[in-house]
Amino acid sequence: MLESARSRLKAWIVAGVGTAAAIAVAGVLGAFAARHEPLPALAPAGRIETGQWLLRPLKAYATAEKYTYGALLRPGGKALVLELEMTNRTAKSTKDYFDLLQASQKTVDPATKPFIVLTRDSTMSPELHPGMPERMAYIWQLPDGAAVPASFNLTVISKTYKPRDNLYGLPGWFNPTPIGTMTIPVGAGPDGADMQP
């Protein structure tokens, strides 16, 4: 009886030491470092790389026009427009840019999906081709009666490439993760100059 209690105690001690050692090693290797780090602030006038895209924000403004680049707005409503240069960094034509930019909840209702338009000829969300920069506009409808902010916050979201996904064994881009935030000043109208790096 006493013998068995002693051996059990010994087993507990060994297991405890082992766990503590594992946690210590994980801590040294940086497993917990990612947890509390805030998202880095990105320079809005710079070039931003996500997995699939190279982004260069050009200008942001608010508009009350009925049609902005062919996108029909709610009557009487205002919209926030962000124009930016987007380059497809992947090897295939893609339109995987719907979750790329997230306007902060303070400015835009999170349920509002932006219109994404090719400014060249107002084509609604076309595929963009590898290595060909295009000027695109993200158009968010602002909540009714909301004042136009002087600037707004954007979260940039990136995906990672997997040569084989777990389901079909096919290549693809997965696991959207925020990589940074940026604050973009909102100009008066569509005629403002582009931001320069």
Partner 1 sequence: MMMRKSANTILLLVAVAFCYGLQVSKPRYGDLIGPIPARGKLGDTVVGRGFEVHAEKIEFARKLTVDQYGQSKVLTTGGVWAVVTVEFAARAQSTVVSVASWRGPTGLTYDQTERLSFMNGLLPVALDPGLPRKARLIFELRPDEVSNATLLVSEKLVAALDSQAEISLGPVTVAADGLPAGTVDMLDMAQPL
Chain residues in the site for partner 1 (CB under 8 A): 91-93, 118, 120-121, 123, 126-127, 129-134, 164, 168-171
Per-residue H/E/C for 113-164: CCEEEECCCCEECCCECECCCEEEEEEEECCCCCCCCCEEEEEEEEEEEECC
Cβ proximity of 90 and 132 under 8 Å: no
CB of 6 to partner 1, least distance (A): 44
Nearer to partner 1, 88 or 158 (CB): 88
Give the strand pairing for 71-72 and 53-63: unpaired
Nearer to partner 1, 80 or 117 (CB): 117
Nearer to partner 1, 108 or 117 (CB): 117
Nearer to partner 1, 25 or 132 (CB): 132
CB of 90 to partner 1, least distance (A): 9
Cβ partners under 8 Å of residue 49, min gap 6: 55, 89
CB of 175 to partner 1, least distance (A): 19
CB of 115 to partner 1, least distance (A): 15
